[in-house]
Amino acid sequence: MKKIVSIVLALVLAFGACAISASAYDLVPLKFDKNGEFKIMHICDCQDGYPAVDTMLKFIDAALKEYQPDIVVLGGDNTTGPKETKAQAIEELCKVFVDNETYFTLVFGNHDREQGYENDELLPMYQLYGKGYCLAYDEVPALHGTATHNLPVMSSDGTKVKFNLWMFDSGSHYIDENGKDLGIYDCVREDQIKWYQEESKALEALAGGKVPSLAFQHIVVGEVYEALFHESLVDLGVLTPKANGKIYSFFPRTENIQEGFLFEFPCPSEKNHGQFDAMVERGDVLAMFFGHDHINSYTTELDGIKIINTPGATFDAYGNDIVRGVRMITVKENDPTKFETEVVTVSQFALDNNDFAEDAGIDTFTAGLMLFLGDILLALNGLTKGFSSIISMIF
């Protein structure tokens, strides 16, 4: 029955207008559990072909069994590999969720479409191999990108919309109105932002008030630099990142890193069509979650919206064992305006689960060493919080 409902929902939403009717929401399989919780697992940058590195697949499988999320959000760069085995890579990844009877949705990243398929060809593969557990759909195919959509979360008794999840395709490379590739990362475009604004208002009207929401996409918004870096008085080339038409200090505002690590400069688009400002204005998005920057796991905040990066789960592309893992997000029905989140690292999971470590071939001594180094770095980060403004003025 669970799979049948999700298939019916996908069909209803696929043929629906931008503003979904109350009857369509009645088919949504997502709701708070009997304990008043809704759990999301955010898995970013699996970024592997077929066959994928076995350690990653075993980790995702074990984490699903341990945390039993209500839904998984694949955060982009979900599969790579050559065109000849792209479908097999997608099937292999989907099988983990199907075997665990776990709903999942997705956004696409900048690498998903680089193996000879466009994203609108890839989405049906996820829907096929997801066997009814895939809830991703392309709500308005005319929009930029593929699979920009939203998924409401119902109250535990199923009577009303209590929460919402936004999914945005942040694109790959920026193609201008003349079809020219500008050689920079893409971003969420004006038509997608307008869709969000209209859908948000329709959702508010249906629910009788603003619906607290989380937003997911692959490429981070440029406003992350406003939150994490001071403007620089000098240009030191590659040492001073550029974003939003400004030059920023290479030393971060460590006092604004609420949790986690900033191991690399964030990589937003050089273009900005006002997505973040639109969300601030609407006032329903509590946090935006991103992947793309594999070794970042920070949480920061700007204008009332948390900006959160989930590290890569990949064992094929670049990463490090201090942060490599997935992110868990827990929302409480009694106050959905608040949520809890933590990164579940492979290293910590291996130390806590000896059977997994042995099965996945993870050396627990190395895992413990990585966690120890992480603790040292966090301590050093704490020591710099009082001096970051001064250091930033110098550099």
In contact, 152 and 179? CB cutoff 8 Å: no
Predicted pLDDT at 29: 85
Q: If DSSP codes are grouped into helix, strand and coil, which group holds residue 364?
A: helix
What values do phi and psi take at 266, rounded to 5? Answer: -60, 150
Q: Report CA-CA distances (Å) from 225 to 247, 294, 297, 317.
A: 10, 17, 15, 25
Predicted pLDDT at 394: 57
How many alpha carbons lie under 13 Å from residue 52 in its C-beta half-sphere?
A: 28
Beta strands 37-43 and 71-74 are parallel
Predicted pLDDT at 282: 98
In contact, 351 and 371? CB cutoff 8 Å: yes
In contact, 105 and 167? CB cutoff 8 Å: yes
Q: For residues 190 and 28, what is the distance between their CA atoms, to the nearest angstrom?
A: 28
Q: For residues 31 and 336, what is the distance between their CA atoms, to the nearest angstrom?
A: 12
As given in the structure block, the two tokens for residue 81 are 């590999």
Q: If DSSP codes are grouped into helix, strand and coil, which group holds residue 330?
A: strand
How many alpha carbons lie under 13 Å from residue 322 in its C-beta half-sphere?
A: 16
Q: For residues 105 and 149, what is the distance between their CA atoms, to the nearest angstrom?
A: 10
Report the length, in residues, of the chain.
395
Interior/surface letters 310-338, b for 16+ CB within 10 angstroms, e for the rest:
bbbbbbbeebbbbbbbbbbbbbbbeebee
Q: For residues 382 and 259, what is the distance between their CA atoms, to the nearest angstrom?
A: 11
Predicted pLDDT at 7: 42
Predicted pLDDT at 234: 86
How many alpha carbons lie under 13 Å from residue 66 in its C-beta half-sphere?
A: 17
Query: pTM for the complete prediction?
Result: 0.92
In contact, 152 and 212? CB cutoff 8 Å: no
Q: For residues 279 and 197, what is the distance between their CA atoms, to the nearest angstrom?
A: 8
Q: If DSSP codes are grouped into helix, strand and coil, which group holds residue 247?
A: strand
What values do phi and psi take at 86, rounded to 5? Answer: -60, -45
DSSP run (H or E) holding 149 = strand 149-154
The neighbour count for residue 138, using CB atoms within 10 Å, is 20
Predicted pLDDT at 238: 84
Q: What is the mean pLDDT of each run of 10 residues along the chain (395 residues)?
A: 43 41 58 97 97 98 98 97 95 98 97 93 97 95 97 94 97 88 94 98 95 98 95 86 88 93 96 97 98 98 98 97 98 96 98 96 96 94 73 58
Q: If DSSP codes are grouped into helix, strand and coil, which group holds residue 73?
A: strand
Domains and CATH numbers, the chain: 61-345 (3.60.21.10)
Task: Give per-residue pLDDT as tens, 228-264.
Answer: 998 888 888 888 888 888 999 888 999 999 999 999 9
Predicted pLDDT at 17: 35
In contact, 219 and 171? CB cutoff 8 Å: yes
Q: End-to-end CA distance of the chain, in Å?
A: 60
As given in the structure block, the two tokens for residue 99 are 């075997």
